[in-house]
Amino acid sequence: MALQKGRDMLLKIADGAAFVTVAGLRARTISLNARTVDVTDSESAGGWRELLSGAGVKALSVSGSGVFRDAASDALMREAFFAQSQKTWQLIVPDFGRFEGAFLIASLDYAGDHDGEATFAMTLASAGEISFVAI
C-alpha cells in the first residue's frame, strides 16, 4: 500500500437513500478490537496462557473530529444520537478497504473558542456485524 493522505479517509452515514460524507472531518481513527477468552488451567503446557480461538467478542470503534458545518450529515448524526438509533456507516480507507455496518454514536461533542471555529468530536461503536471489502 502506498502512502496515503489522511484527508482521503472518508466517514459516511446512510440517509436512507444513499451515503452522505460526514462534512468537516479533520481527524479520524478506526480501532479494531477483539476480546480474548482465557482457557488456561493447571494442565496448560509449561504454565503458559491458552486462548480459545474464535470465541472472543469483536468490536470496531471510530472517532473523529472536525469543523462544525451544520450540513446534512451533522443533522443525521444529531438525530441518530438523540434517538440512540443504529445507523449504517461506511468507513473508507483508500487503497486498503471499506468497513460497513451498524453503529451507535457513543459520544458527540461540540466546542468552540470565542476567536475560532466551532468544532465537533464523535465516537462510534459497532452495533452488529461489520463487513470489510478490500479496495
The pLDDT tens digits for 19-34 are 999 988 889 999 999 9
Total domains in the chain come to 1
In this structure, the strands spanning 87-93 and 58-67 are unpaired
Reported pTM: 0.86
Residue 99 in domain: yes
Which whole number is the average pLDDT over 112-125?
Answer: 93
DSSP 8-class letter at 50: -
Question: Which residues neighbour 55 within 8 Å (Cβ) at sequence distance 6 or greater?
Answer: 37
Domain with 54 in it: 6-134
Residue 107 in domain: yes
Question: Which residues neighbour 43 within 8 Å (Cβ) at sequence distance 6 or greater?
Answer: none
Taking the C-alpha atoms of residue 13 and residue 88, their distance in angstroms, rounded to an integer, is 6
Closest CA to 119 of 58, 65, 48: 65
Chain position carrying cell 473530529? 65
pLDDT band for position 8 (50/70/90)?
confident
Residue 1 in domain: no
**Which CATH number characterizes residue 117's domain?**
4.10.410
Residue 34 in domain: yes
The pLDDT tens digits for 60-88 are 999 999 998 878 889 999 999 999 999 99
